[in-house]
Amino acid sequence: MKIFIVFALSSCAWAQVERPQLGKIVDANGAVRPIYGIAASVTLGDPEITGVLSASCSRKFCLAKTETSLVSAGGNIAAPAGPALFAFDGDGAYIWFPQ
């Protein structure tokens, strides 16, 4: 009976364990991937967005620019072709299209 109780409690605790996320990166193929781990020991997660020209994150949200749209957690917005520069200000962001 004691073994069953220990097993039941440990299985509940297992569901609470999450990998620490350090940030996000644009890889060589133009995909945004999360970075998991701790300093000096990291792994890359599965691609979240593909075809990315530029991307940036604040503490609250991330933005990515593909060839023809801006991508955020809220969805896609049409945008001019080419890369973009991002500047974050609290809950908002300024976006500059150099071309």
Check: CB of residue 95 under 8 Å from CB of residue 70.
yes
pLDDT at 22 over 80: yes
- Strand, helix or coil for residue 7: helix
Count how many Cα atoms sit within 13 Å of the Cα of residue 52 in the half-sphere of its side chain.
23
pLDDT digits (tens, 9 = 90+) for 25-41: 999 999 999 999 988 88
pLDDT for residue 16 is more than 70: no
Residues found in the chain: 99
Q: Can you give the residue ranges of every domain in the chain? A: 18-96
79: which 2 tokens? 């945008």
pTM for this structure? 0.71
- DSSP secondary-structure letter at 44? E
**Side-chain-side CA neighbours of residue 96 (13 Å):** 5
